[in-house]
Amino acid sequence: MMNFLNAGASGKRFVILGFDGMDPAVVLRLIKRGEMPNMKRLSDRGVFTMMESSLPPQSPVAWGTFIAGADPGVTGIFDFIHRNPENYTPMFSQSETQPGKWVVKLGKYHVPLKPGKVILNREGRAFWDYLQDRDIEATIFKVPTNYPPSASGQRTLAGLGTPDILGTYGIYTLYTADVNESQQELPATNVYYAYVDENNVMEGQIDGPKNDLVVPEDPYAEPEAVIVPFKVYVDFTHRTARIDVQGHEVLLAEGEYSRWVEIDFPLIPMVQSLTGMVKFYLLQAESKDKFRLYITPVQISPAHPALPVSTPGSYSADLAKQVGLFHTLGLPADTKALSNNTFSMENYIVQSNSILAESKKLLDYELHRFLGRKQGLLFFYFSSLDQGQHMFWALNDPQHPYYHPDEAKRHGYITEEYYREADRIVGRVQKALPRDAALLVMSDHGFAPFRRQLNVNSWLAKEGYLALSAGSLAAGASIYDQADWGRSRAYALGLNGFYLNLSGREGQGIVTAAQKRPLLEEIKAKLEAITDPKSGEKVIRTAYISEDHFSKNWIQRAPDIILGFERGYRINDDSALGVLSAEVVEDNLSWWSGDHLMDPRRVPASFLSSFAINRDVPRLKDVAPTILRYFGIDTPSQMNGTSLI
């Protein structure tokens, strides 16, 4: 077994492969079956164990903990979604966009003298900056919770949290000749009717960002989106299509997924435009009324980034030059398209495999560059396991309310295949690395079934903590329409927690400082006593009172209670945005059937290393101090994890 500390002061190299959502129980099962030989080899050489995730075990929270070597109280990221206490508005936790300042009017255009910018809300210094202090090079590839990438002299590429060019987290476009499908109200989607004319030509548009540089005639009107037209020439005989867009020509057969195509959205013609990129997926080209074309969310082009995605700024363009365009959206596989039934399982798998292939190509390139150095760190992130398990869990879970035996027969193999693919990636890296280089394969959390969902706002209303102006629960109503804040003591927003309506903090808070702790204790006890009316099972393992578990630095952003769900349960996704449902606990009838928004003790992460460690169960926050120790750097005071070596 390798001992780091005996290695020489120079020639130290460390590779970390981050597989989001890799579950240690699945890894163990496949190792025992002999289906993960490379992970087995790694664990024989060093360690394979479960690792304590963050509280809550959500990816932005967990990877933030990894980056800072400290709990979320230090990073200030407690959930995918935080809220503005002044007006109870939900907001994305990781970053925020600040509009341009000091606008001048030039003809029909508004020109900001100080352009808008995106701010990273993650606090605490990243471990790679401590390496930079010692002139140790690091490449940090797509680590989540680093969009926009924090200022650094290291090579970093933003990962989860990176939006599309519209500033959303993935809104796709569907053109369909099915009238019923075209009239569906689907979330996170632009759906258009596909009219194919007598010459078998369809005209469409790609929706770009809203152009707030144009002075609107009506000062109260929303700025209009910039649109880019395209034409599709369809050959129904051969089930093929040619797509013409801005001089690009894309030829596709039915079922084929295109290369990336860069699109320029003109904001001020000839002066300013934004570049994005899309892929086209010809889902169906059977006849005029059986035609469907999918277009990915308009992603930021790494070659011409409209928003910052890397440090140095030129890094993403250099990569694109070397290996071609690649996905930049934080969660690149279109899980929403599968949930909405726009994609079949096969369609989703095609897209997911394409993403994985891009990632492997990028890894090969970065690994080659890394091996040319005598010292340094390479972190490389993969999202496919996480996204795949979210969508495929029910295929292997007959107890799941969304279990489909036919789909299970056809695609039940896929989750384990993703694990075997992860193992092959580990094998490639092991083969390339010299023996004295350290290798860590890790995840941020494990996985579990998501069978039933709790609407926390509905529960709070039924228990009398959330007062509704209408007096009774109405499914689909929102706390913004229904809550009587002057009589409400608590409300839920986000994916793992809820807030007291605290006087002096919330805009219309009523709970006094003296009432706070007794109320938290009272609600905690009630939450932990909730049972599922269908099965009698306990729904919440532990309700964690935040002030008992987090460092104080940024605790003002934290929910007052973090819900540690039992396996099988999760927060209702409506509740996360303040929407009520008639039933407090409901079935989850969605392909999004696996999850990890549970008690961290129920979904531990994976830790496999080529070296021995000094704890039986390492913690995610211990990894950064371990990296620094490997390179001879003492744990900085900011970090409350401890070195594992």
Judged by the rule CB under 8 A, the positions of this chain that interact with another protein are 80-81, 84, 86-87, 89-92, 99, 101-103, 163-164, 167-171, 187-188, 297, 331, 335-336, 339, 387, 390, 478, 480, 495, 573-574, 576-578, 590, 592, 597
To another protein, the closest distance from the beta carbon of 287 in angstroms equals 32
Both tokens assigned to 603:
């979904």
Q: Measured from the CB atom, is 58 or 152 closer to another protein?
A: 58
Both tokens assigned to 520:
């938290």
To another protein, the closest distance from the beta carbon of 613 in angstroms equals 32
To another protein, the closest distance from the beta carbon of 168 in angstroms equals 4
Q: Measured from the CB atom, is 301 or 593 closer to another protein?
A: 593
Q: Measured from the CB atom, is 405 or 486 closer to another protein?
A: 486
Q: Measured from the CB atom, is 400 or 629 closer to another protein?
A: 400
Per the CB < 8 A criterion, the answer to whether 463 and 526 are in contact is yes
Q: Which single residue is written with the structure tokens 């008690």?
A: 599
Cis, bond preceding 57 (omega within 30 deg of 0): no
Give one DSSP letter per residue of 302-313, joined into a string: SSS-SS--EEST
Per-residue CA distances from 327 to 68, 334, 352, 561 (Å): 26, 12, 11, 36
- Residue 368 burial by CB count (10 A; 0-12/13-18/19+): exposed, middle or buried? exposed
- Sorted by sequence, the CB contacts under 8 Å of residue 379 that are 6+ apart come out as 15, 16, 18, 128, 138, 139, 140, 141, 143
Phi, psi of 261 (to 5 degrees): -125, 120
Give one DSSP letter per residue of 223-292, joined into a string: PPEEEEEEEEEEETTTTEEEEEETTEEEEEETT-B---EEEEEEEETTTEEEEEEE-EEEEEEEETTEEE
Per the CB < 8 A criterion, the answer to whether 122 and 64 are in contact is yes
Q: Which single residue is written with the structure tokens 């090969």?
A: 364
To another protein, the closest distance from the beta carbon of 130 in angstroms equals 31
Q: What residue type is assigned to position 329 of the chain?
A: L
To another protein, the closest distance from the beta carbon of 586 in angstroms equals 12
Phi, psi of 327 (to 5 degrees): -60, 145
Q: Measured from the CB atom, is 331 or 460 closer to another protein?
A: 331
To another protein, the closest distance from the beta carbon of 324 in angstroms equals 25
Beta strands 376-382 and 138-143 are parallel
Give one DSSP letter per residue of 208-226, joined into a string: EEE-TTBPPSSTTSPPPEE
Burial 131-149 (b: 16+ CB within 10 A, else e): beeeebbbbbbbbbbbbbb
Give one DSSP letter per residue of 582-619, joined into a string: SSSEEE--SS--EE--S-GGGS-EEEEESB--S-SS-B
Q: Measured from the CB atom, is 177 or 338 closer to another protein?
A: 338
- Residue 74 burial by CB count (10 A; 0-12/13-18/19+): exposed, middle or buried? buried
What is the separation of C-alpha 333 from the centre of its chain, rounded to a whole number of angstroms? Answer: 10
To another protein, the closest distance from the beta carbon of 207 in angstroms equals 12
To another protein, the closest distance from the beta carbon of 573 in angstroms equals 4
At 394 the three-state DSSP class reads: helix
Select from 21, 31, 199, 107 the least CA-distant residue to 596.
Answer: 21
Q: Measured from the CB atom, is 84 or 469 closer to another protein?
A: 84
Q: Measured from the CB atom, is 163 or 604 closer to another protein?
A: 163
Cα–Cα distance for residue pair 120/489, rounded to 1 Å: 31
Q: Measured from the CB atom, is 455 or 635 closer to another protein?
A: 455
Burial 84-113 (b: 16+ CB within 10 A, else e): ebeebebebbbbeeeeeeebeeeeebbbee
To another protein, the closest distance from the beta carbon of 577 in angstroms equals 5
Scanning 7-113, the segments in alpha helix (DSSP H) are 24-32, 37-45, 59-68, 72-75
Q: Measured from the CB atom, is 168 or 512 closer to another protein?
A: 168
Q: Measured from the CB atom, is 440 or 597 closer to another protein?
A: 597
Q: Measured from the CB atom, is 80 or 280 closer to another protein?
A: 80
To another protein, the closest distance from the beta carbon of 59 in angstroms equals 10
Within the chain, what is the greatest distance between any pair of CA atoms?
Answer: 75
To another protein, the closest distance from the beta carbon of 596 in angstroms equals 10
Per the CB < 8 A criterion, the answer to whether 297 and 171 are in contact is yes
To another protein, the closest distance from the beta carbon of 345 in angstroms equals 16
To another protein, the closest distance from the beta carbon of 388 in angstroms equals 12
Q: Measured from the CB atom, is 66 or 92 closer to another protein?
A: 92
To another protein, the closest distance from the beta carbon of 81 in angstroms equals 7
Q: Measured from the CB atom, is 186 or 645 closer to another protein?
A: 186
Q: What residue type is assigned to position 356 of the chain?
A: L
To another protein, the closest distance from the beta carbon of 390 in angstroms equals 7
To another protein, the closest distance from the beta carbon of 177 in angstroms equals 25
The torsion defined by the Cα of 519, 522, 526 and 529, in degrees rounded to 10, comes to 150
Q: Measured from the CB atom, is 23 or 334 closer to another protein?
A: 334
Select from 192, 67, 73, 193 the least CA-distant residue to 125.
Answer: 67
Q: Measured from the CB atom, is 90 or 427 closer to another protein?
A: 90
